[in-house]
């Protein structure tokens, strides 16, 4: 049975490769891979646990292997692309405009996401009352309490200080939860130093810029090699998700699952409206963004999506490279619309009635949105994505943390949509900022 299923898996991989080779449509090939992976994963649920585990270990060579290849190039890409982008800036003051624009849009959309989370929770009538916890949820609650203890003494100044690199070489290995931002800061200083050298010695400065550009093109070539493997990686990752999802857990918390995806969908629509108001065709945008969003959905990793994010913004959306790099790297750790916006807002709104607070009161909603927005800026300092974002928000409000553990059984399913929304928020921020600052426009659909 194992050999037969592996043979089927290999044949589907060959079919995916044939479709990609014949039509050269990355977006549609990724979508096909996602759907076939879902169906094959559901089919594999009939296997006993031992055979399923063995089969998924083999399939992980493709899925996890692809994710690791992306993780391999994240830090080199962030380092050299930021350095290259800044060293080619005509005016240093544009760096400040880029940072303010990207961060401003990320935080603004996160505030909107929090409001959407509040409204969705009330619309579906969700409440923390009556939820029963099982063994897995109780164990998860213990882990949540341990994590909460680790961040109790973290303050905003401490979090901000964690962004500043003390050993850039260690940060290039991804040693800390804030390594991405620390690498951006280190690259920015090197970029500014390059600009300063160009002013003092134009010839030496230009040679330095040319050398940086050569390395940048080399890294980008590696990125393109890895990106062409996206359909295969998405297929394998989707199989694992579908094969290991417990249907009973999904049904037990179906209301929260549906409400979460409703809120995520609404935020995607809002992103589209923001693009439209800025003269950007949302249909063209989402068509070009599809492969990156599909990978983010199946991998559940904003950080691993950075190479795809940057490549899509620059090559397919026509964004300025400096803005694309800042948006992709900042968006992976700051202002995450799904993990740091919608999710903690929904949990807080569900808990509010149990502690005697009206979840529809203007005071509660305004306070919650403010806390969520601030927490989304600093969540990179503690790591852990949506769980830590929820811990920070609920602890600040003085709410109990048990609900974070109670929802652990459907967490992976919701996290797929949240991660796709996080990445889309970063790409939206980059696209709008590029339009504001450099007057760029989307290329026409010619592929």
Nearest CA among 375, 242, 379, 223 for reference residue 297: 242
Output 406 or 127, whichever has higher pLDDT.
127
Q: Kindly tell me if the per-residue pLDDT of 383 is higher than 50.
A: no
pLDDT of residue 135: 46
DSSP state of 128: S
Output 8 or 403, whichever has higher pLDDT.
8
Nearest CA among 347, 237, 247 for reference residue 294: 237
Q: Kindly tell me if the per-residue pLDDT of 408 is higher than 80.
A: no
Residues 110-138 have a mean pLDDT of 79
Q: Kindly tell me if the per-residue pLDDT of 415 is higher than 60.
A: yes
pLDDT digits (tens, 9 = 90+) for 14-35: 999 999 888 888 878 988 999 9
What sign results for the dihedral spanned by CA atoms 96, 102, 103, 105?
Answer: positive
Confidence of residue 405 (pLDDT cuts 50, 70, 90): low
> What mean pLDDT value characterizes the chain?
85
What are the structural domains, with CATH classification, of the chain? Answer: 1-164+175-438 (1.10.3860)
pLDDT of residue 90: 65
Could you give the C-alpha distances from 44 to 32, 157, 171, in angstroms and in order? 18, 49, 40
Give 170's contacts (C-beta < 8 A, 6+ positions apart): 176, 179
Confidence of residue 145 (pLDDT cuts 50, 70, 90): low
Percent of the chain with pLDDT over 70: 87
Could you give the C-alpha distances from 81 to 76, 115, 193, 232, in angstroms and in order? 8, 35, 15, 26
Residues 362-382 have a mean pLDDT of 79
pLDDT digits (tens, 9 = 90+) for 46-94: 888 888 899 999 999 999 999 899 888 888 988 998 888 888 776 667 7
pLDDT of residue 13: 94
Confidence of residue 176 (pLDDT cuts 50, 70, 90): confident
pLDDT of residue 81: 84
Cα-to-chain-centroid distance, residue 2: 34
Mean pLDDT is lowest, of 32-46, 175-189, 214-228, 302-316, for 175-189
Q: Kindly tell me if the per-residue pLDDT of 109 is higher than 80.
A: yes
What is the Cα–Cα distance from 392 to 389, expressed in whole angstroms?
Answer: 5
């Amino acid at each position: 049975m194992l050999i037969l299923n592996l043979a089927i898996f290999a044949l589907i991989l060959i079919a995916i490769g044939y479709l990609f080779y014949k039509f050269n449509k990355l977006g549609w090939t990724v979508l096909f891979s996602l759907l076939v992976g879902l169906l094959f994963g559901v089919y594999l649920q009939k296997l006993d646990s031992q055979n399923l585990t063995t089969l998924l270990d083999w399939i992980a060579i493709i899925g996890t292997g692809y994710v690791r290849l992306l993780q391999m190039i994240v830090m080199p890409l962030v380092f050299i692309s930021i350095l290259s982008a800044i060293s080619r800036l005509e005016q240093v003051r544009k760096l400040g405009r880029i940072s303010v624009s990207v961060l401003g849009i990320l935080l603004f959309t996160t505030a909107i996401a929090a409001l959407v989370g509040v409204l969705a929770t009330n619309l579906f009538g969700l409440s923390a009352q009556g939820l029963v916890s099982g063994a897995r949820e109780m164990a998860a609650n213990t882990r949540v309490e341990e994590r909460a203890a680790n961040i109790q003494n973290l303050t905003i100044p401490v979090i901000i200080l964690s962004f500043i690199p003390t050993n850039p070489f260690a940060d290039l290995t991804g040693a800390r939860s804030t390594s991405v931002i620390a690498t951006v800061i280190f690259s920015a200083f090197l970029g500014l130093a390059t600009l300063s050298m160009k002013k003092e010695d134009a010839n030496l400065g230009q040679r330095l810029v040319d050398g940086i550009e050569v390395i940048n093109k080399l890294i980008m070539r590696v990125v393109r090699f890895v990106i062409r493997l996206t359909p295969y990686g998405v297929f394998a990752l989707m199989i694992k998700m579908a094969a290991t999802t417990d249907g009973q857990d999904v049904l037990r918390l179906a209301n929260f699952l549906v409400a979460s995806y409703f809120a995520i969908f609404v935020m995607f629509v809002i992103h589209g409206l923001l693009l439209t108001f800025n003269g950007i065709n949302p249909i063209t945008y989402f068509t070009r963004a599809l492969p990156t969003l599909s990978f983010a959905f199946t991998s559940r990793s904003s950080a691993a999506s950075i190479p795809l994010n940057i490549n899509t913004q620059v090559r397919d959306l026509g964004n300025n490279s400096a803005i694309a790099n800042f948006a992709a790297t900042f968006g992976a750790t700051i202002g995450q619309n799904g993990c740091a916006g919608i999710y903690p807002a929904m949990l807080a709104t569900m808990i509010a009635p149990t502690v005697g607070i009206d979840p529809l009161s203007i005071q509660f909603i305004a306070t919650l949105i403010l806390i969520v927005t601030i927490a989304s800026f600093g969540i990179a300092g503690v790591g852990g994505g949506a769980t830590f974002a929820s811990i920070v928000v609920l602890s600040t409000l003085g709410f109990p943390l048990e609900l974070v553990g109670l929802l652990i059984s459907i967490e992976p399913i919701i996290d797929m949509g949240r991660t796709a929304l996080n990445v889309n928020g970063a790409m939206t921020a980059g696209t709008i900022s590029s339009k504001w600052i450099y007057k760029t426009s989307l290329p026409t659909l010619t592929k």
